[in-house]
Structures are given as C-alpha cells and as structure tokens.
Amino acid sequence: MRLSVVDAGSNTVRLVIADVEGGVPLPVHTVKWKLRLSEHVGPDGTIADEAVEGLVQAVAAAGATARRWHASGPLAFATAVVRGAPNRQEVLRRVAAGTGIRMCTLPGETEAELTFLAARRWLGWHAGPLALLDIGGGSLEVAFGRGRLPDFAASLPLGARRLTREHLGVQDPPGPAELKELRRRIRHDLRDVAARIRWEAPRTAAVSSRTFQQLARLCGTVPGRYGPFVRREMRCADLREAVRSLASLPAAERARLPGISAPRAEQSLAGAVVGHTALKLMGLRRVVVLPWAIREGVLLRYLEDGADWWTHVTGAADTAGPAPAAALRIAGPPA
C-alpha cells in the first residue's frame, strides 16, 4: 500500500509518498515547491491572489506526482499561514476547484498531537514521559504525554517567520533593543505552557521541524547525509551560542553558517531565539532532534485509525470542495 501527504507550509509545499506495509511509513519519493507563502501576505494576513494561484499549481502538481507513483491521496493540509488568513476559505475553495483535492487547515493543537505521535513512534516507549516542540513559520507547537497521544497540546503564535516580521527588521543585524523585545514577547506567550512542562518533568524532550534541524546542524550535529538513523541531540547551551552567532550577522550572511539555508536565513535568528527561550523556560537542557514531524504523524494516524479518522478531521476542520473520498481515491497507473 502506498500513501501520499501534502503539507502547505509558510515556505514550501511538500509532498511525501510512502510505502506503508507493516504500518510504518517508509518514504519512497519527496518533492517540494518553494512558494514562500508567508512573504505574500498582507498586513492582516490575507494571502495575495498570485500566491493562491501558486498554491493551486503546486497542489495540482503534487496530485499528478502521486498518481504517477501509484499512491493514494494525497492527504492534504495547510499550516498556520493559511489557517490564520482571513481569506482561508477562498484559498481552500480555489485549491479544491483547481485540483480536485480537498485541502484542510488543522487546528494548531491537532498539529501538535500529530507531531507528538510521530515523535512517540520514532523514539518508542523507552522514551517515557515525552515533551515535543515544533517551530513552524507561523506557530510553535508544544505537547507532552506519557502514551501514544499527548495529555497536553498547545499551539502558540511564535513561528519563526511571524516573529521575524513582527519584531525584527528595523536594523540588520538587529540591535539589543529589538532582541530584548522579542525575548519579552516569547517569555510572555510561553509562560503558562513552560510552567506546565516544568511541572511534568519529562524524561525525554524532542524537537522537530526544519527550523530545529537547521539549528541543530549549526550547533554541531552531523549533516543530513549521514541518514535519519543517526541520533542527533542539541544542548540548550549550544543553542544560546547559536543565537549569538546569528545575531552578529546580517540576514544575508547567515546562510554561510553550517546548516542555515538561504531561504531560511532571515528567519533563522527568530527561530533560534524562540527555541532557546522555550528550552530555558521549560528547564530542558538537552533535546533529541527528530527526522519525523507532522507529515509522518498524519500518515501514522491514518494507518492506525483508518480512513474514517481523516474523514472526521477534514469534516471538522476548514475545508472546501469535493468529498473526502475523492481526495483519498487510489491513484491509477501513470498516463
């Protein structure tokens, strides 16, 4: 059996095609389209018309690719940049009309739950009580639990792209006043969630997302070419030094640092500040850096709970267009 999932994020639209025999999603093909949706939103978060058209084209290409690879789906969802847009219903309607694929926006807490599931399945039960953090472009997801799914999940407006847009940019590199105000905002928004994580005292803390992976590389973890099965850990103290390195450079020069890609160089500082502040407030000295995140969580939950789960999720979430069965049809052979 072969499934596909499409994730429309702040920077990219990514398709993952995976073989799922035995209940484990093993990727066979991935494609991404760099749309940078977050750079095409108005002051109120409205997504520009040309960016919506780019999203439609990317999702259509993802559907065609899934069919060529004989994969069912795709299971399609969009994260914070679309979820928070005043015109999100119009965006979803145009995607459905232009592609025949029913895309939804998941609540932030649901994203946290799905990413936690991916973390639990990757780390196993020996990880014990588990805390999970995921930095996206528009939001920060936090979850904690002792079982398969979290006991506690939260989504906060502390994404790397959002914080860059709202708090950085007066100076390049930013001055002490800008960084101080950014940290104040993060501490304020994280206060209650951080207190809960400290109180739970997790045995294992894990982080996922491209932002954390790039920061971990900057902090000295081995490159991605060594594969996903190498254990990667990052210390809070090393992340503090990463903040200092990033803050000392203009945005255009941060891509020269290990792990920092050019498309994410501008937002890398905000990502490092929110990551370090979160770990410090939660009392987490060391975290495991995961290769799995929300896409794998969607695939795992679909495998474990069946198609009815996705139908329920898309029925309860913001969606538009054809019935879920159309989005989950088994793709035929290549044209």
Predicted confidence at residue 319, as pLDDT, reads: 64
Least confident of 103-112, 126-135, 324-333: 324-333
Average pLDDT over residues 101-106: 93
Q: Residue 258 carries which DSSP code?
A: T
Amino acid identity for residue 133 in this structure:
L
Q: What does the buried/exposed string (b/e) look like for 203-213 if buried means 16 or more CB atoms within 10 Å of the residue's CB?
A: ebbbbbbbbbb
CA–CA distance, 77 with 263 (Å, rounded to integer) = 22
Q: How confident is the model at residue 322 (pLDDT cuts 50, 70, 90)?
A: very low
Average pLDDT estimate for 319-334: 37
Strand partners, 152: 144
Q: Under 8 Å CB-to-CB from 56, ≥6 apart: which residues?
A: 94, 95, 98, 99
**CA angle at 86 for the pair 84 and 92, rounded to the nearest 5°:** 80
Q: What is the mean pLDDT of residues 244-266?
A: 95
d(CA 49, CA 91): 9
**Rounded-to-integer distance, Cα 269 and Cα 150, Å:** 29
Helices (runs of H) and strands (runs of E) counted in the chain = 12, 12
Q: 191-203 pLDDT, tens per residue?
A: 999 999 999 999 9
CA–CA separation, 216 and 311 (whole Å): 36
ω into residue 333 within 30 of 0, thus cis?
Answer: no
**pLDDT tens readout for residues 80-90:** 999 999 999 99
Residue 214: partners with Cβ closer than 8 Å, 6 or more residues away: 259, 260, 261, 264, 268, 271
Amino acid present at 64: A
- Average pLDDT (208-231) is 94
> What pTM was estimated for this model as a whole?
0.91
pLDDT at 331: 31
Contact predicate 172/255, CB 8 Å: no
Per the document, the length of the chain is 335
Residue 165 burial (CB count, 10 A) = 19
User: Rounded to whole angstroms, how far apart are CA atoms 75 and 214?
Assistant: 26
Angular region, 175: left φ>0, alpha ψ -120 to 50, beta rest: beta
Does residue 49 carry a pLDDT above 90? yes
Q: How confident is the model at residue 253 (pLDDT cuts 50, 70, 90)?
A: very high
158 pLDDT above the threshold of 90: yes
